[in-house]
């Protein structure tokens, strides 16, 4: 139930995430000549790098590094203007073709982002809802009629688990009987969770419609969840709610568009289309349904040209739809019995053109927001060309430089040491100690491994883990590396992702010392890395030279004001720890 509809991945989303919002505040944190870097520019960069948090670096130092990157970007753009690259980029037809994408971003900001804002009170309300989790079972059906039938059976005393195994179209239901386990608010689609969280323990819901089908839901139990302080999780909640709000607004907006362009289906053509479908059988390795397909070769030319959908300004023929549908990955194709999904797939084939027309109708190309976004796009392209076509023009790399790089970075091209052992893994230290004693008295290792090890995938191999580097089983590697051939050791304490805390008895087979990979085997890789380092040094030198010539001002007070207090407190806590 967490899959995002494909429709939401199209249209104006692509560039929306690249360019961000239009400028809202003008607090300037730095200037490079007459070019300003605002607090919002810094915040956008902060968000882009939010996953690259390095422990031990204060929030202020991180922001200083990010500001330095933004300053370097501006230096590069100034250089590009001085080389006349703005005129070159303006004449590039391939670049000019991107205007529509930038225009769609402006439309996205106006119609989606600006209408999806989350208030402080909504954040706090969501925070309160996160203090509880619920345990739910569900049965997923294709139609409302089927769901009503199941609901009535349950009211008459039918077993929920058995009905889920028998009737649910959720692929996992055969194994888990529709048991979704515990989950918190925000983990399921809105329609589902709104109903589920209102149920009493043991209560069964009436059929609930979501984009996945019709659900019958049973609440098993509730439990309280420990929460971090609101201020610590506020940004996470903001991001999650903002995303959900934007998704909902997009669905609403696309519904509005469908009505605006009078998007309608031809029932006769739809019936003909459905008569030509076949179901792809499940993969032989698993029970997952692979989706439907349309046998377009069984249609006459006249049938292919029938209008399946019409709208102001155009139509979608049966052939248009069939080709688009069959080109979708099978696992993402909805069942063709769901006419609502058919309509969405058809609409997504024209949505970009419709959105562009809307943007032009609203004259968004004349807005300040568009002009700023387009300038940003152009300047990024100019900066790329400044680097490749001006600063690095004619730069190559010699065999001597490649060899020198290889020799100066031995750690990059070393084949790591490996150990080859057999293992018997058990739950308790006492059991491992007992197994070790049996082995010392002459018991057969392979036989004991087959009987005792909980690492089932090596049971039939006598516990043989093969040859592996430290990164695979670090605790086993460390225990085995100094052992001698045939030597036994144990119990070795293991913290395994699959088995948790457990204990191993190991038998050493052999080891391979670390060795350097010959340059000939990896020359392409080394060449790429050596060239990248050389290029970066040349660009760095160029930027530092230009910075010395330019007027660069940083407002330290504004920079400090952007630091998040909770990030600094977390840093201090880590230092004390």
- State pLDDT tens for residues 505-548: 999 999 999 999 999 999 999 999 999 999 999 999 999 999 99
Question: Within 13 A of 345's CA, how many CA atoms are on the CB side?
Answer: 23
Q: How far is CA 193 from CA 67, 199, 210, in A?
A: 42, 10, 10
Nearest to 118 by CA among 234, 16, 247, 241: 241
pLDDT at 284 over 50: no
pLDDT at 281 over 50: no
pLDDT score at 543:
98
pLDDT score at 287:
37
Measure the CA–CA gap between 325 and 330, rounded to whole angstroms. Answer: 9
526 contacts 413 by C-beta, under 8 angstroms: yes
Tokens found for residue 79: 């250089």
pLDDT score at 23:
46
Residue 110 is given by DSSP the state I
Number of Cβ within 10 Å of residue 250's Cβ equals 21
Report the relative pairing of strands 208-210 and 179-184 from DSSP bridges: unpaired
Q: Per the confidence metrics, is the pTM higher than 0.85? A: no
Q: Which residues of 31-56 are buried (b: 16+ CB within 10 A; e: fewer)?
A: bbeebbbbbbbbbbbbeeeeeeeeee
Q: State residue 397 phi and psi, 5-degree precision.
A: -145, 135
For all residues of the chain together, what is the average pLDDT?
Answer: 88
pLDDT at 569 over 70: no
Report the relative pairing of strands 292-294 and 277-279 from DSSP bridges: antiparallel
Measure the CA–CA gap between 39 and 413, rounded to whole angstroms. Answer: 42
Q: State residue 101 phi and psi, 5-degree precision.
A: -65, -40
Structural domains in the chain? Answer: 131-226 (3.10.50.40), 417-513 (3.10.50.40)
* 503 DSSP β-pair partners: 426, 493
pLDDT at 50 over 80: no
- State pLDDT tens for residues 380-420: 999 999 999 999 999 999 999 999 999 999 989 999 999 99
pLDDT score at 336:
72
The region that residue 467 occupies, defined by phi over 0 for left and psi between -120 and 50 for alpha, beta otherwise, is beta
Q: Which residues contact 180 (CB under 8 A, 6 or more apart)?
A: 135, 136, 137, 138
* DSSP state string for 411-457: GGGEEPPEEEEEEEEES-HHHHHHHHHHHHTT--HHHHHHHH-S-GG
Q: Which residues contact 300 (CB under 8 A, 6 or more apart)?
A: none
pLDDT score at 165:
93
pLDDT at 51 over 80: no
Q: Which pLDDT band, with edges at 50, 70 and 90, does 444 fall under?
A: very high
- State pLDDT tens for residues 241-260: 899 899 989 989 999 999 99
pLDDT at 9 over 80: no
């Amino acid at each position: 139930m967490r899959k995002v509809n494909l429709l939401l991945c199209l249209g104006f989303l692509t560039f929306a995430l690249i360019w961000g919002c239009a400028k809202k505040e003008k607090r300037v944190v730095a200037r490079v000549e007459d070019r300003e870097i605002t607090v919002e520019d810094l915040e956008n960069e902060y968000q882009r790098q939010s996953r690259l948090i390095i422990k031990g670096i204060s929030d202020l130092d991180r922001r200083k590094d990010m500001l330095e990157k933004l300053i370097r970007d501006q230096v590069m753009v100034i250089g590009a203007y001085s080389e006349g690259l703005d005129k070159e980029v303006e004449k590039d037809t391939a670049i000019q073709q991107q205007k529509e994408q930038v225009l769609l971003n402006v439309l996205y900001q106006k119609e989606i982002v600006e209408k999806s804002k989350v208030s402080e009170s909504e954040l706090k309300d969501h925070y309160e809802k996160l203090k509880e989790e619920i345990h739910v079972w569900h049965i997923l059906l294709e139609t409302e009629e089927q769901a009503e039938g199941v609901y009535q059976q349950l009211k008459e005393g039918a077993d929920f688990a058995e009905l889920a195994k028998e009737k649910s179209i959720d692929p996992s239901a055969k194994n888990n009987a529709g048991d979704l386990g515990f989950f918190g608010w925000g983990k399921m689609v809105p329609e589902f969770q709104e109903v589920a969280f209102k149920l009493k323990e043991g209560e069964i819901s009436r059929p609930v419609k979501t984009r996945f089908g019709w659900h019958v839901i049973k609440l098993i139990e509730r439990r309280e969840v420990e929460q971090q302080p609101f201020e610590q999780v506020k940004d996470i909640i903001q991001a999650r709610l903002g995303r959900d709000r934007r998704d909902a607004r997009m669905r609403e907006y696309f519904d509005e568009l469908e009505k605006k362009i009078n998007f309608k289906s031809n029932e006769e053509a739809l019936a003909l289309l459905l008569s030509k479908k076949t179901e792809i059988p499940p993969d032989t390795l698993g029970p997952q349904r692979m989706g439907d397909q349309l046998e377009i070769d069984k249609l006459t030319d006249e049938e292919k040209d029938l209008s399946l959908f019409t709208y102001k300004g155009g139509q979608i023929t049966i052939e248009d739809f069939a080709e688009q549908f069959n080109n979708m990955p099978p696992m993402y194709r909805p069942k063709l019995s769901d006419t609502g999904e058919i309509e969405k797939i058809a609409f997504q084939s024209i949505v970009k053109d419709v959105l562009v027309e809307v943007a032009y109708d609203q004259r968004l190309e004349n807005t300040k927001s568009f002009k700023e976004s387009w300038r940003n796009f152009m300047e990024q392209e100019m900066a790329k060309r400044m680097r490749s076509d001006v600063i690095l023009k004619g730069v190559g790399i010699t065999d001597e430089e490649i060899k020198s790089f290889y020799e100066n970075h031995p750690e990059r091209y070393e084949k790591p040491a490996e150990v080859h052992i057999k293992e018997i893994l058990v739950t308790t230290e006492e059991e491992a100690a007992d197994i070790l004693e049996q082995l010392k008295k002459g018991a057969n290792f392979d036989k004991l491994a087959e009987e005792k090890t909980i690492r089932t995938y090596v049971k039939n191999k006598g516990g043989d883990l093969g040859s592996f580097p430290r990164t695979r089983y670090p605790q086993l590697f460390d225990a085995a590396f100094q052992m001698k051939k045939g030597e036994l050791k144990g119990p070795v304490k293991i913290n395994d992702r699959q088995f948790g805390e457990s204990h191993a008895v190991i038998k050493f087979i052999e080891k391979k010392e670390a060795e350097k990979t010959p340059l000939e085997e990896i020359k392409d890789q080394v060449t790429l890395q050596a060239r990248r380092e050389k290029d970066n040094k040349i660009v760095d030198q160029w930027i530092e030279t230009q910075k010395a010539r330019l007027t660069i001002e940083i407002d330290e007070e504004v920079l400090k004001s952007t630091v998040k207090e909770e990030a600094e407190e977390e840093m201090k806590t880590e230092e004390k720890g």
